Each structure stands twice: as structure tokens, then as C-alpha cells.
Structure 1
Amino acid sequence: MTDRTLARLARAALLPSFAGPTAPRWLLAELEQGLGGVTLFALNDNVPETAALARLTAALREAGGVPIVTIDEEGGDVTRLGGHRTASPYPGNAALGAVDDVELTRRVYRSLGAELAEVGVNLNFAPSADVNSADDNPIIGTRAFGSDPALVARHTAAAVAGTQEAGVAACAKHFPGHGATVEDSHLGVPLVDADLDLLERRELVPFRAAIKADVRAVMTGHLNVPAITGGEPATLSQAAITGLLRNRLGFDGAIVTDALDMDGASGAIGIPEAAVRALGAGADLLCLGPREHEDSVRATVAAVLAAVADGRLTAERLEDAAERGRALRAWLAGAVTATADRTAAVEAARRALTFSGELPLLDAPLVVELEAPGNIAVGPTPWGLGPWASDLVRVNGADAQAGPLLDRARGRGLVIVLRDAHRHPAQRALAEALLAVRPDAVVVEMGLPVWRPRSGAHLATYGATRANAQAAAELLGLTAGGKAPAPSEA
């Protein structure tokens, strides 16, 4: 096999990124030479308004036939399709799991898929099939449908079905499961302390459901599962990818890596070497990361060619990966379309609300939002009740004092907005100080409602998207239309 043919096979596995809202010349040239596709990132300014994004993806198709155009659009708190500027109009998985209506989940994901298809995105890195079994998980949280494997499984299958009914390939992630971790794989290699028996009862249940639903792709996580991977991250482990996902679970579709620029994959070895090891382990498509552009493509292709030359990789493994990419593109070429239906999103956000206590009359209340540190996956996405609050202040729980806030709220209602308060002691301390004086205040939790104060009315939204915030604002009477129908009791 010639070096030119091998280089084309190596390119077929790559999903690099690029800077700006238009395709650069180098990228179009790489697509003409067989590049597998691209990954769009909001932080690279790759996601302009709808018409411009459609023009961008059309240019990519003109250069590369049916390139795989991917994005991280989970709805919910991880959003890229416009939601990174205004917050997503779709509630995320935690809200859908709280409602527990699989047909509604299917409708939401079908609508989200339709919006992706409209702008030319054909592989969505969603749904998250993780079972969020660790409350202190810094990276999953509201991205999971819940902590019960059976619930997560049925909603993962519904999400896969809905996405693919819109003509977009779904990608279940983060195999073999990121939900039991307490470390961010952007920053290290999280530990999943589970033997195969526990994995089968917990982490693998949703992935089996996704495979049964004919999911077109599965994304690996950079996770250390010692019982399976022996200390390696799953993305680089043949035992995890070929042994567990391919052979034991019987998945025959495309296996995609999480971004290889993450420390969990390449921190100690670099991206080209991580790419070689991932391919050798059985991955078919390699997401390089938001900062990995032309130079990374060239360096990775060179590393793959060198690995074939010295016997670390075989040409047959590259051909196998390329064939799975071709099969995915063939499915995409014949996919059907659907119509967006945001009424499903609004319905889901409203039905997800859970309330306890007595809701006071709130007339132009002071809304106090307690800032919560984000993570790299979520990014700086807007959140909160700001669009509906007539008087809002956002404070850092570690620095703010209760006294000035109580003075400002004197004689009127008080709404305290938290986000994953169970993970942030400063949020809890300030909330309790406010409630000690104002037990009539309403607490709105826009993350997971793991921690609840001893006093005050409590409203849980199970997410911080625009849809979640709108539903909460309706319930609190902050919108022009007044209160929404009563939520379910917590």
C-alpha cells in the first residue's frame, strides 16, 4: 500500500477543528484529500447564526462529499447551536429524566436533531448515557438523565431514536461511563472504581440500550477503569474499546474518541501519540479538540504513517476504521428529515419543575443569584432568571454578605437562585444566612437538588437553560402571563 493511500486512510479518521465562521483553505484542501470531517466549537467562533452556519457546512460538503460534521449539542447546559450565546431553548437530560416520559424525550431530541440537520450538522455528540451515581461529579451532573441505570437506559434509547429520526447520527457517550467519577477528564484521568459485574449492572446498561436502539456512534471517555483498562484511559485501551464495546457489547458502528487534547488522553504523551494509540485500541474517528487545527492534522497523519512503518499499527486497522466512517456517511446520505418542535422543549421544562413549601406572592422581588463555578464542557453559557427579573443581583457566595442583600430586599419578596449548591459550601452558607432572616424566601435550585435548605419554599428546575429558567419564571409569576400551572410536589 502506498504512502499516499495510507495518508488518505489516516486523514479519514480525523475530526479536527478550525478557527472562524468560514472554512479556511487548508481545511478544504484536507477534505479533498480524504479528511473524515470536522468538529464545530462555539469557542472557535464556528457557530454563527443559522444561515451562515448552513453556508459553512455546505462549503464543507462541496469540498468533501459527505464529510462528518460534528458538534456537542446536548441541549441543556452543554449547548453550542446558538445556546452558547442565549442559553439553550431545550431542557437537558436531568429535566427529561425528572419528567420520565420517554415519548417526550424522543420528541425533544427529534426537534433538536431537526435543528442540527437544518444547518448541516450530521453527527451529534449526544446523548450522554452516563449514570450520575456520584453527587460530587464535576463534569456530568445535569447532563445525565439520572442516577438509576434503568431510567437512564430508557431515555438514552429514546434520545437516540429521536435524533436519528431527524436524519442526524446520535453518539452515546462517555463509554464506559463517566457518572461515577469525581474528577474532570479535561484535567486528568478520572477513576471508575468498578469491576465488570458492577459495570454491567450500572454503567453499561444505558450503552446496551443505545446499541439496541441502533445508535450510529459511541464516544469513548478518557476514564481509568482499572478492572478493564489496567490503568490506561479507556480511549487508549484495546480491552475497553475492542474487548468490551466491540466484542462483549456487540457494537458494530463508529467509535469516536472524546477530544484528544484533554489531559485525560494526551496530557503525558501528546495528541499524535494519543491518536496512534486510540486507533490501535479500535477507535475509528478521532476528535482532536478545539485548538487542534492544520498543524495537528499534519503531525497526526505523520505519526500514524510512522506507526504503520514501524509495525505499531497495521494498514488493515486503518482500512477497518475508514470503512466504518464510510458506513456512517452512507447512512447519513440516505437519512430522512424532521421538523423542529420547540413546544416539546417548553412542555418538558414545565413538567420537570418540582416544588415544596408554600409559594408566597412575589411582587417585584429581589432575585439573588449565587455564582457557581462552571466546567470546561459547559463553558460560559448564560443562565439564570435575568431575562424575567425586574431586580436581580448576582453575587459570589464566598465574598458576599447577607446584610446588604437583606436590606435591598426589605419590604418585598426574595428569590435565592442556586446552582448545584451541594457542591458549593459558600452557596449553602449564604443561602442559609439569608433564610435565617427571610424564611419566606423562595429558593430556586437550577442544578441537581441534592441539598435543600431547612426553611423556605423550594423549586427545582433540573437545569439552567433558558427553557428551565422560563418555566421557573412562569411559576414564580415573573413573566407577563403570570403563573404557570402548579408543578409537581417534591
Structure 2
Amino acid sequence: MADRFDPPQVLDRLAAELLVVRCSGHLADPQRRYPRWELDNAALQRLLQRGVGGVILLGGCAAELRQRTRQLEAWAGAPLLLCADVEEGVGQRFEGASWLVPPLALARIHAEDPALAIDLARRYGACTGREARQLGLNWVLAPVCDVNNNPANPVINVRAWGEDPATAGALAAAFCRGVQAEGVLACAKHFPGHGDTASDSHLELPLIPHGRERLEAVELPPFREAIATGVAAVMTAHLLLPAIDADHPATLSRAVLTGLLRQQLGFEGLIVTDALVMEAIAGRYGPSEAAVLALEAGADLVLMPEDADGAIEAIVAAVASGRLSLEQLRASQQRRRRALERCSADGGDSAPAPLGALSNGPAPPDQALALELVRRSLVSRGRGPVPGGPGVNLIRLDNSLACPFLPAGAPALALPAAAGWRTCLIDGQGPSPWSGDGEAPLVLERLGDGPVLLQLFVRGNPFRGRADGADPWPAVIRQLQAAGRLAGLAVYGSPYAWETLAALLDPRVPAAWSPGQMALAQGELLGRLGFGPQGGATPDDDAPRAALAVDFTD
């Protein structure tokens, strides 16, 4: 195909082929959730016709995604890498598919039964790969191979498969085997390890101060195991490791990507950058320069450059000036094409599903897996029914706007509402419920009378910059218990927040933790506290759900 073009056009298409741009999984431009990062359809179609070789998708429902991926392939007229950040199952990003518990849940199972946990991780990967393939995706940007040995980590947290290298490596490798057996590429990330940091590379450049001996002992083993398993791709981390390269973030470091990953660890697959729009890179380098620096370092693919056209032109100019080797870019091109051939060759047991795949929800075996994972990872102390109700259903979450796990009919809202509890949200967006008193942080008068069911949705989340919320939850627990008003506690997400708060509870207070935050986890957890079928309360379509019962104004 290249000989149809004169050399400048050939080079332009080669440079474009090494980019992965972002778009919405929705079909129409007005449906985009994040217009700042998601290309509109006109720009997307133009870039694909220019030769861009990959697309990362976010948002939409399962049936719509299948139409979207077919549309993108038609616009490109050539095979594409079509990927998504579906670390917790395809349903984490695309409604109607399986949304599974976060990977760290399986680390807790592994501590009790390693063989069971490894089998569950393989099945987790197989479910993710199978559903991805059915919807037209051929690349899963998972597993996270970071070792979450720092509970204050604001961005990895429950996304990791373990808090020690052995657990993280064994489970991540099992996940890889499951995904790739379905004919879908897996991607180990974030190399060489983002677990031991208390800062978020979406916002700033984290520094890992450890020497090479420590990296060999903790950070690198899970990546070695994934590579030994045959993982198709490795994603870079936006962090600084002075022991290897004091001047460049790992994503832009030849010592890290070519020296450590390619030469010393022997990885022969695709190296892809983490998103270049993240502040750790975008805030320090121009969008075009960052793309060139990443390729110079040894990356094969550039993910989400801030300016795709500018990145292509900068790569072409870098080849013309001799700064980038044409042979190196062609080698990256060949790795990308071999990866696409691998998808076709390792297609699992069946051809891609028809257009309507998952339109009626996940297959029964995948539904059973999702439920098994929730139930095996759920921890409770005491059982419902929650005493003294109805009262106040006090819910804390990061942002209630377009919250994927808390729509109006979510069990965390609907089950207490059906039992007569009035809902109050603390979401960081509206008026503050805080008193400023460190010993009595809530203004209880604003809540109204009655017992309080406290539900906390806390976990590591990109862009938030903290791991478990800045709110004074230990003091809130003590305050509510001293007032005789804490009826129950539900924690969704961070095991570290749960362990801290559970230690403060009166033994008579029913409480439970689930690593998952999705509806399935909410329903199972609240069932332990006496809501829903087990507690005699079921959702009612006419029950008040998301309405605020309290106005936090003076």
C-alpha cells in the first residue's frame, strides 16, 4: 500500500499509525462526556483516514459500542487497535456488560486460598476478553501490575492485583492468560511500577526514590511474570526514577524503556505510553515534543497526544532531521501489525459475536462470576436489620454528577428509601455539612432527627489527588456513636478506609465493606445490613431516591 504514495505521504502515514487517539463510545458528538479529550466525529474520521492506527474508547452502552467500533474500522479502511481501560470488566466503562470487583479484592482471597484466587483471576480475564471481543475491542488496557504497597496511593489503590510482588504477579499473569486466550491483547501497566507513590501522575510527576535493588525486589517482579506469560503490551508510567534516569520521566526515558524493559527484561511486544495529556507530561513538555521524546525513548505507540496532527508533523520532522530513525519507526509499525495478526490468529473458541451482543446483559456464566466475586470479597460484622430506623441515609461520594455507580435507582439509594430512610448526599459539590470542629465535624442539626446509616464510597481515583477522602471520617464515627445515632456503616472501595473505621466501631453497630462500588455490590452489602429481600425492604418505583432530604445551608 505504501508504494501508492510518494515518500512524504508514506512517512506521514507511518507516523500516524503509531498514534492512539481517544473518542467517545457514543455515536453522536453531543453525547461525548469529555469533549476536551474526545475527538468529534469529523476530526476522528479525518485522522483515521490520515492513517491513525488506534483508538481508545470510553462511554456508551454495550450494543452501541459494537456499532461504534464497526464505524471506526469503516472510516479507517484498515485494521485498527481498538482499546479501552476496562480494568474491572467491560461494564466498568460500557453499560450492559460485566462490571467486576476491583482487582485488589482477589488479593484478599489469595491470602486465604491462592489456587482459588488464581483461577478467579483467569476467569476474570476471560470474561473481560470475551466481552471486549464481542463488542469489537481487540485490546484491553489491563492488568495493572503495580504493587500497591502504599495505602496512601491516590491513583492505584484497589486497581492493583496485590500489595506484595508475589500476589500481584501471580494474579496479573492469570488475568493475562484469561484475556489473551479470548483473542484479545492484554497490557501490563504502569512500567516500571506506580504502586509506591502518594501522588497522582494525572496531576503531577511522582518520584520513586528507590534504588535498583529495591526495584528488582518489589516493582519489577509482576512485570517479569506478565512478560513470561506472553503479555502483548506494556504501558509506561509517568514518574521519575532517579536511580535509573534522573532527568526524564519513565515514559520519556530511553534508559527505562529501551535499556530496562526492552534489553534487560527482554520484552519484545508493544510498548505504549500512558496518556500524554496527563499533567505529569503535558505540564512539562509541549504536546508535539512529548510524542517525539516517547518514540526516541523506545515507545512504539503514543497514547492520547494532546494534538494528534501536531504529533504526526513533529514525528515526520524528527525523521527528516535525523533525530528519529526511520528503521526504529518501521520496527514499531511491525510490532503493531504483528499484534493485530495475533488477535486474528488467537481468536478464542468462536468468531466475533453479532451486532446485538450483550444487548440483553452479560451471559449467565459471567453474571455468576460477578456475583461470586462480590460475595467472596464482602466483609461484614454484625448483621441487620439496622436498628432504630427509619432515619438518615448519609452517603459520601466524590461527585454525584453523572456518577456511573449511583444513578437514581442504585441500591444504595433505593433500598434505604424503600424502608423509609431519607437520603442525604455529601459529594464535594454542594454546600458543606462540616462544622469546622475537629471533635464534632458534622452539624448534626442539619441532618434532622433519627439514626444515621453512613455509606462511604471511597477509593483511589485519578485526578482526585487523595486515596480515601480528606473528610474526617474517624471523627464522624466517634461523633455519631457518642450521640447514639450511628445505626450502620457501609464502606465501598478502599480496604484501608474500612480497616481504619471498623476498628472504631461499637460491636453492636452493623457494618460491612465491599471493594466494589457497582450496583451488585451495593445490593449484596445492604442485604447484610438488613435492607432488600433479606431485610424485608424492596425498592419501590415511587419511593424517593436521590432527592436530598437536607439542605446544608445556614
Same fold (TM over 0.5): yes
CA distance change for structure 1 residues 106 and 192 in 2, over 3 Å: closer, same or farther? same
Note if 1:434 corresponds to 2:480: yes
What is the distance in 1 between the residues matched to 2:478 and 2:90?
Answer: 26
Partner of 1:314: 325
Range moving further from structure 2, 3-12 or 20-29: 20-29
**Which residue of the partner structure matches residue 405 of structure 2?**
382
> Within the alignment, does 1:395 sit opposite 2:406 as a pair?
no
Return the letter of the residue paired with 1:386.
L
Instruction: Tell me if the contact between 1:418 and 1:443 (Cα under 8 Å) persists in the aligned partners.
Output: no
- Residue of structure 1 aligned with 2:346, choices 320, 335, 356: 335
Taking the aligned partners of 1:387 and 1:103, their CA distance within structure 2 comes to 34
Aligned partners of 2:98 and 2:403: how far apart in 1? 12
Amino acid at match of 1:417: L
CA distance in 2 between partners of 1:321 and 1:218 (Å): 13
Q: Name the structure 2 match of 1:454.
A: 504
Q: Percent identity?
A: 34
CA distance in 2, matches of 1:417, 1:368: 11
| 1:50 aligned onto 2:62 | yes
Q: Does 1:186 align with 2:191?
A: no
Contact 2:154–2:468 under 8 Å retained in 1 = no
For 1:233-248, list aligned pairs within 5 A: 233-248=249-264
1:180/1:192 contact within 8 Å kept: yes
Residue 417 (structure 1) aligned with residue 456 (structure 2):
yes
Partner of 2:87: 74
Give the Å deviation of 1:367: 5.8
Give the C-alpha shift of residue 440 in structure 1: 6.2
For 2:18, the equivalent position in structure 1 comes to 13
Normalised by the length of structure 2, the TM-score is 0.77
Shift of 1:471: 2.4
Say if 1:347 and 1:438 are closer, same or farther in 2 by CA, change over 3 A.
farther
Contact kept in structure 1, 2:457 and 2:517, CA below 8 Å: no
Q: CA deviation at 1:454?
A: 1.6
Matched residue type, 2:27: P
Contact 1:474 1:481 in 2 (8 A): yes
| Aligned counterpart for 2:56 among listed residues 17, 27, 39 | 39
Name the structure 1 match of 2:541. none
Amino acid at match of 1:361: P
Deviation at 1:79, TM superposition (A): 2.8
Could you tell me which amino acid in structure 1 is paired with residue 516 of structure 2? Answer: G
Q: Deviations over 1:18-41 (max 9, x none)?
A: 465258354344434432111113
Q: Any stretches of 5+ residues in structure 2 without a counterpart?
A: 1-5, 29-39, 111-116, 350-362, 435-441, 460-466, 537-554
Asked if the contact 2:454/2:486 (under 8 Å) is kept, the reply is no
Q: From the CA coordinates, give the structure whose radius of gyration is larger.
A: 2
CA distance in 2, matches of 1:285, 1:435: 54
**3-state secondary structure, aligned to 1:73:** coil
Q: Tell which deviates more after alignment, 364-373 or 208-217.
A: 364-373
Structure 1 residues 348 and 365: CA distance shift in structure 2, 3 A: farther
- Per-residue CA distance 1:208-230 (angstroms, 9 max, x = gap): 11111111111101011111121
CA distance in 1 between partners of 2:91 and 2:62 (Å): 18
Alignment equivalent of 2:143, drawn from 115, 119, 127: 127
More RCO (CA 8 Å, sep 6+):
1
TM-superposed CA distance for 1:106, in Å, is 1.5
Question: Structure 1 residues 432-441 or 177-186, which shifts more?
Answer: 432-441
Q: CA 1:192–1:393 in structure 2 vs 1: closer, same or farther (change >3 Å)?
A: same
Query: Contact (CA 8 Å) 2:109, 2:376: kept in 1 or not?
Result: yes
Looking at structure 2, the residues matched to 249 and 156 of structure 1 have their Cα atoms a distance apart, in angstroms, of 17
Give the conservation status (yes or no) of the 8 Å contact 1:416–1:431: no
The AA in structure 1 aligned to 2:476 is: L
One-letter code of the match for 2:79? V
Pick one of 2, 5, 9 that aligns with 1:4.
9
Distance 1:386 1:115 in 2: 29
1:94 matched to 2:135? The reply is no
SS at match of 1:153: helix
Tell me the C-alpha RMSD between the 2 structures.
2.8
Q: 1:140 to 1:430 in 2, by over 3 A?
A: same
CA contact (8 A) 1:418 1:427 kept: no
TM-score normalized by the length of structure 1: 0.87
Q: 1:326-353 CA deviation, whole Å, 9 max, x = no partner?
A: 1111111223246761211110111101
Residue 423 (structure 1) shift = 4.5
Q: How many residues align?
A: 465
- Output the CA distance in 2 between the equivalents of 1:165 and 1:106: 10
Work out whether residues 111 and 342 of structure 1, in 8 Å CA contact, stay in contact via their aligned partners in 2: no
Q: How does 1:216-227 map to 2 (within 5 A)?
A: 216-227=232-243
> 1: CA distance between counterparts of 2:224 and 2:23?
34
How far, CA to CA, are the matches of 2:390 and 2:210 in structure 1?
A: 48
